[in-house]
Amino acid sequence: MKNVIITGSNSGLGFETAKKIAQDKDYRLILACRNEEKATAAKEKIIAETGNNNVEFIKLDTSLLSSVRAFVNEYTTKYQTLDVLINNAGISSMTGGTTAEGFELVFATNYLGHFLLTQLLLPYMAENARIINISSDMHEPPGGIEWKGVEELAHPSKDDRKKYAYSKLCAIYFTHELDRKLREEGSTVTVNSFNPGFMADTNFSGGHADKARAMVVKVTMPDRFGNLATSSDALAKISTESSFVGVTNKYFDRSTNEKASSTLSYNEENAKELWQKSKEYCNI
């Protein structure tokens, strides 16, 4: 049986992708979520709709490195291998503040926790295992962004409304640098980025303000708009179908089609800086 971990899988993209993968009973789904009540309800719904009883919940809050370590300890106590890791959990820029461990909340939740999770799980990856980092086309927001260094992202001197964009840029940098290191090691593990598009039909951040923003995006920037059904279908295929074995370091745009990400996202020095600082933050 193949094991699949999807972070933030009690709703939205993570939930729909988990449900689609679970239709194949050769897969065991691990719902890695911070809210036990919501994750348990999601688990029961997936089992009821797919008939796959191999669905379980393990608590994970990606904003806290201590929670990531506890999750990995529990997972590896139960299972020896991992076939698919989908780093999906995320929050929007509408949420702010600092974690108990001192990191900016969006940076920690969307990127740093997934960096540590992936590093700790790499020794358990099966042959041809797949890692998919959920990014966003907002890694290149309207008006653009300039790289301001990792320390300013992790411990900002002031609140930045584009912190979500930076966290998703970090996901792509992570993909590039991890792929480079995996290829150097001769690994068969692959890593890709996936943009689901802006989806109004999820509870990503909720609230009337977000619903209004969704309508603005749909009308003014249709090329950024996503669809939950089609994006989750594409993500499930990239995660499991044999045609994607060996496909690595790609950016998939709301489908199984590859696309170039932003020019900034290919800056190797930024990617190396992020990798090194992330290792320091995570003490690995």
Collect all residues with Cβ–Cβ distance below 8 Å to 62 and sequence separation of at least 6.
7, 8, 34, 68, 89, 108, 109, 110, 113, 114, 117
Q: How far is CA 124 from the centre of its chain?
A: 19
166 a catalytic residue? yes
134 forms bridges with which residues in the sheet? 194
CA distance from start to end of the chain: 30
Angle at 6 between CA 190 and CA 26, to 5 degrees: 80
How far apart CA 71 and CA 6 sit, in angstroms, is: 12
Catalytic residue among 164, 166, 173, 281: 166
Q: Which two tokens stand for residue 208?
A: 């009337």
Task: Identify which of 96, 109, 89 has the alpha carbon closest to the alpha carbon of residue 13.
Answer: 89
Biggest alpha carbon distance in the chain?
50
How far apart CA 217 and CA 224 sit, in angstroms, is: 7
- The 3-class SS string of 30-54 reads EEEECCHHHHHHHHHHHHHHHCCCC
Active site positions, annotated? 166
